[in-house]
Amino acid sequence: MQYFDTHAHIGLIVEDPIEQLIVIQEARQASVARLVSICNSLHDFARVYENLKSAANVYHAVGVSPSEVQNPGKNWAQTIEKSAALPKIVALGEIGLDYYRKFGDKNSQIELFIRQLDLAAKLELPVIIHNREAGHDVLDILRDRLPPKGGVLHCYSEDAAYAKKALRLNLYFSFAGNLTYRNAKNLHETVGVLPPERILIESESPFMVPADYRGKRNMPKYLPLTAHCLGNMLGLPDEKMAEILWQNANRFFGLTE
Ligand SMILES: [Zn+2]
């Protein structure tokens, strides 16, 4: 069995370069055979990329998250373009809208989001989408601007009705450790309306730790718990669930298995 962690903030879990490699190694020992390291800030991207580029099973996403809207860095678009030409860059992300935290006004977030969606189309990359309390605007924008390689709604947190609308755009849906929380009814209902081939899983580490490890800092190595929980909901044994998720993630990122 092998698992694909589609969203891990390695640079936020630990800062020390050796410890980062240990996190990757522990994930591998737990059958998390591939993972995408998510760019949390363009200011930090090169450092994490350099450190992890020798790890064969690690891929990267690059982009400006809504948390950086007020300080994306000078020439951020050129930085993304240049970075996207590096080996093992598989997506632009995470990008999106966050109306929950006060990162900056809506209009500047929307402008940054749209410019990066267009950049993803140009670079022929899929996008990893962050949405917090901005579900309506996110779908509205994606209806016109979703790049041809598609997108994933990462750390899915909306309900089943929203998922049905998002399915019309052929999006993928990625579930994090909060799927394992007993009170996550909206997520459990969502799983029931999704075609299994549209589902991904992610650790969203160091956040969103699965229920069994609540209170701890999340790690990619805990990802199989989320897969197991999903398998229970879909009535699939672990092996079958892992196989479907593995194929979905590789298809989404354009990787061969
Ligand atoms: Zn994230």
Which two tokens mark 96? Answer: 């999106």
- End-to-end CA gap in the chain: 13
- What is the overall mean pLDDT for the chain? 96
Whether 39 shows a pLDDT value over 90: the answer reads no
Q: What is the pLDDT of residues 209-243, one digit of tens each?
A: 999 999 999 999 999 999 999 999 999 999 999 99
Distance 231 CA to ligand 1 centre (A): 23
Q: What is the pLDDT of residues 173-185, one digit of tens each?
A: 999 999 999 999 9
Cα 39 to middle of ligand 1, angstroms: 8
- Taking the centre of ligand 1 as the mean of its atom positions, its distance from the CA of residue 130, in whole angstroms, is 7
Q: What is the pTM of this model?
A: 0.96
| pLDDT band with cut points at 50, 70 and 90 for residue 101 | confident
Q: What's the gap in Å between 98 CA and the centre of ligand 1?
A: 12
**14: which residues sit within 8 A by CB, 6+ positions away?**
20, 23
Mean of pLDDT values over 134-148? 97
Q: Would you kindly state where each structural domain of the chain is located, as residue ranges?
A: 3-253
Q: 212: CA distance to ligand 1 center in Å?
A: 21
pLDDT at 233: 97
Sign for the CA dihedral angle at 22, 23, 24, 28 comes to positive
Amino acid 28: pLDDT: 97
Cis status of the peptide bond prior to 94, with omega within 30 of 0: yes
Q: ω before 206 within 30° of 0 (cis)?
A: yes
> 131 has which bridge partners?
97
Question: In the CATH scheme, what is the homologous superfamily, with its name and number, of domain 3-253?
Answer: Metal-dependent hydrolases (3.20.20.140)
Sheet with 89-98: list strands edge to edge. 3-8, 32-38, 58-62, 89-98, 127-132, 151-153, 172-175, 199-201
- For 120-129, what is the mean pLDDT? 98
Contact between residue 99 and residue 133 where contact means Cβ atoms under 8 Å apart: yes
CA of 240 to the centre of ligand 1 (A): 27
Reply yes or no on whether the pLDDT at 34 is more than 80. Answer: yes
pLDDT of residue 102: 77
How is residue 200 written in tokens? Answer: 């991904």
3-state secondary structure of 1: coil
Residue-wise pLDDT for 42-71, tens only, equals 998 999 999 999 999 999 999 999 999 999
Q: State which H helix or E strand residue 25 sits in.
A: helix 17-29
Residue 40: pLDDT band by 50, 70, 90 thresholds?
confident
